[in-house]
Amino acid sequence: MIFSTPTPKFEQSLKPLQNKDIVPFKIITFDTEDDSCGNPEMGDFYDGQTHWTYDLRTEEGRKDMINFFYRNEEQAIFVAHNLEYDINNVFRDAGYIHIKSMIYVQRLIKAELLDCPHIMWDSYNWYSAPLAKLAEVVGSI
């Protein structure tokens, strides 16, 4: 692999971001749990203030969880700690028809939904340890 040093012209064209250039995104975490046999049981969204929890054992609960993405009109970043697992639990019974794209680099890192402004990221790519360990680290800061 060959890397080159940036040219002076390129370096001169770089400018620091200004406040007007920074676009804040709402971050919403989501997680699902199954019965250890691959059958989704529960799903939850959390925006730092409110939890929205869905019973994924029912068709209505699965539809409601999918609709949560579409009801949120303000563009947001949805973060799951194992995105591929959670996408499977939420969208499998709908035949994945809502999924626009999924980007893999050894593991799923990003996904987008059709007709929806949000993106989904996998936090496991930033911190590859169990969530309990991540909570310990964040709690100690």
pLDDT tens-digit profile, the chain (141 residues):
454 555 556 556 667 767 776 777 788 999 999 999 999 999 999 998 999 999 999 999 999 999 999 998 788 899 998 899 999 999 999 999 999 998 888 777 888 889 988 888 888 777 776 767 766 766 654
Residue 137, pLDDT score: 63
Q: Where are the domains of the chain?
A: 24-47+55-139
- CATH number 3.40.50.300 given to 24-47+55-139: no
Q: How many Cβ atoms are within 10 Å of 56's Cβ, its own excluded?
A: 22
> In whole angstroms, what is the distance from residue 75 CA to residue 7 CA?
36
Full-model pTM: 0.72
Length of the chain counted residue by residue:
141
> Is residue 90 a contact partner of residue 98, using CB atoms and an 8 Å limit?
no
Residue 123, pLDDT score: 80
**Edge to edge, what strands does the sheet with 76-80 contain?**
51-55, 40-46, 26-34, 76-80, 119-122, 107-113, 99-105
**C-alpha distances in angstroms, 104 versus 84, 101, 111?**
10, 10, 9
Residue 110, pLDDT score: 85
> Is residue 43 a contact partner of residue 56, using CB atoms and an 8 Å limit?
yes
Residue 139, pLDDT score: 60
DSSP alpha helix (H) spans, 56-127: 59-71, 83-91
Residue 9, pLDDT score: 60
